[in-house]
Amino acid sequence: GENVEQHPSTLSVQEGDSAVIKCTYSDSASNYFPWYKQELGKRPQLIIDIRSNVGEKKDQRIAVTLNKTAKHFSLHITETQPEDSAVYFCAASKGFGNEKLTFGTGTRLTIIP
Amino acid sequence: SAVISQKPSRDICQRGTSLTIQCQVDSQVTMMFWYRQQPGQSLTLIATANQGSEATYESGFVIDKFPISRPNLTFSTLTVSNMSPEDSSIYLCSATLAVQETQYFGPGTRLLVL
């Protein structure tokens, strides 16, 4: 089955700097890669996703890049703010949102004011 | 997005008992799933809830322990049977909206088994 690895497990950045979280997947049939943000005690919230026919997607301060050949994808957060502090999970699926998601192990991001 | 609700939000149960968790979505959905999240850990899929038929379970999860129902498109239940302290966890349902192809999560049910 699919295996998703995520790095780093923890990340601290100064407010205003950029943060990058990387994930690799094992199944070349995977075609959908969402990112979820989970604040303490809350549900995971979808922040951005990318499909395999696209190499990059941006939404304001958040961007995701996908390298299908290398089977890795990354989350980029620019101009970080204290409210970006949370745990971020990457995931992979073979059928967009209609198929089960395999999650990475999570990255705890801390923004230092 | 959609409103996904779960009941109960939390519970404390005695070992050997069972708890049924409900998940309701306010929009038309195609798929519903149940995940487990241990404290400080990632999400692990328990099963895919299939409407009108038996759920599809992931390796390590069995129907006798985690029976799942999905009587209609927008409602599903997960039962945690014969509970032990190892079942203490957060249980989350997710749903894929019919008009989108993205999964949204319910608020979770925090279960503590004594």
**Average pLDDT, integer, range A41-65:** 94
Token pair 């149960």 is found at B13
Which residue of chain A has the CA closest to B38? A105
Across all residues in chain B, what is the average pLDDT? 94
* pLDDT (0 to 100) of residue A45: 96
- Does residue B1 carry a pLDDT above 70? no
Nearest to A23 by CA among A36, A38, A42: A36
Q: What is the pLDDT of residue B5?
A: 96
Identify all chain A residues contacting B101, using CB atoms and an 8 Å cutoff: 32, 96-98
Residue B70 in this model has a pLDDT that exceeds 80: yes
**Other Cβ atoms within 10 Å of B16 Cβ, number:** 10
B101 band by pLDDT with thresholds 50, 70 and 90: confident
- Weakest mean pLDDT among A22-26, A94-98, B104-108: A94-98
Residue A14: per-residue pLDDT: 98
Cross-chain Cβ contact A98/B43 below 8 Å: no
Q: How far apart are CA A3 and CA A76, in angstroms?
A: 22
Q: What is the pLDDT of residue A68?
A: 93
Please provide the average confidence, as pLDDT, over all residues in chain A.
Answer: 95
CB contact under 8 A, A103 and B43: yes
C-alpha atoms less than 13 angstroms from C-alpha of B86 in its C-beta half-sphere? 3
The reported pLDDT for the residue numbered B61 is: 97
Q: Name the residue among A1, A101, A106 with its Cβ closest to that of B103.
A: A101
Q: Residues B26-44: pLDDT tens digits?
A: 988 889 999 999 989 999 9
Q: Quote the pLDDT of residue B27.
A: 86
Return the pLDDT at B35.
97
Residues of A in contact with B5 (CB under 8 A): none
pLDDT tens across A67-110, in order? 999 999 999 999 999 999 999 999 999 987 778 999 999 999 99
Q: What is the pLDDT of residue A37?
A: 98
DSSP-based three-state secondary structure for B81: coil
**Quick one: pLDDT at residue B56?**
95
Q: What is the DSSP string of A49-92?
A: EEETT-SEEEETTEEEEEETTTTEEEEEE-S--GGG-EEEEEEE
Range B66-93 average pLDDT: 96
Q: Which residues of A touch B97 (CB under 8 A)?
A: 97
Nearest residue of chain B to residue A4 (CA atoms): B42
